[in-house]
Amino acid sequence: MLDREGYRPNVGIILVNDDNLVFWGKRVREHSWQFPQGGIKPGESPETAMYRELFEEVGLLPQHVKILGRTRDWLRYDVPTNWVRREWRGSYRGQKQIWFLLKLVGQDSDVHLQVTHQPEFDGWRWHEYWAPIDEVIEFKRYVYERALTELSRFLRGVESMGEYQARAVEMRKALQNKC
């Protein structure tokens, strides 16, 4: 299901723990990491799709999380042509996403990556809030930055992206000085 502009409706999920660390999932048999995300089926609301994707990819149920917020509007990214299936070229541009910020109210042990026959992730970890912007595949970076920035207002105690970047620079300098 594509909109008139060639974007597939999708949801993205930023799951945080009590320390404002984010769930960071390693894609099956790849060395790439990302937030949980997935398509919205015809007739499905973004919230319903989010809960379905959360279960399919992370194994969490609605009682394991609390919705803290969502993006106001769709955030879009274009997929490079060489990543698009041949049969979709010319009509498919990328994804438009509504992003949800969820708080884990369950336990880490509630996460189960193998609940479907085709799991999305084969590993996961808690990661610093802003770190995914620099680590996700290039064409998703802008959307990750917009989603994290917009949704950070729902969290207490999370440093700004500028503070995080300054701290990262200082840490790199300290490491270089040790070598």
Residue 79 belongs to domain with CATH number: 3.90.79.10
Query: Is residue 86 within a helix (H) or strand (E), and if so which, with residue range?
Result: none
Task: For residue 68, tell me if it sits in a domain.
Answer: yes
Q: Cα–Cα distance between 95 and 74 in angstroms, integer?
A: 9
Of the candidates 150, 127, 133, which has an alpha carbon nearest to the alpha carbon of residue 69?
A: 150
Task: For residue 115, tell me if it sits in a domain.
Answer: yes
Task: For residue 29, tell me if it sits in a domain.
Answer: yes
Q: How does pLDDT run across 49-103, given as a tens digit for each residue?
A: 999 999 999 999 999 999 999 999 999 999 998 878 777 677 889 999 999 999 9
**Which residues form the domain of 156?**
7-177
Say if CB 160 and CB 129 are below 8 A apart.
Answer: no
Task: For residue 2, tell me if it sits in a domain.
Answer: no
Q: How does pLDDT run across 126-174, given as a tens digit for each residue?
A: 999 999 999 999 999 999 999 999 999 999 999 999 999 999 899 888 8
Give me the number of domains the chain comprises: 1
Task: For residue 25, tell me if it sits in a domain.
Answer: yes
Task: For residue 160, tell me if it sits in a domain.
Answer: yes
E-strand ranges in 84-133 read 94-104, 121-127
Can you give the pTM of this predicted structure?
0.93
Q: Cα–Cα distance between 101 and 81 in angstroms, integer?
A: 30
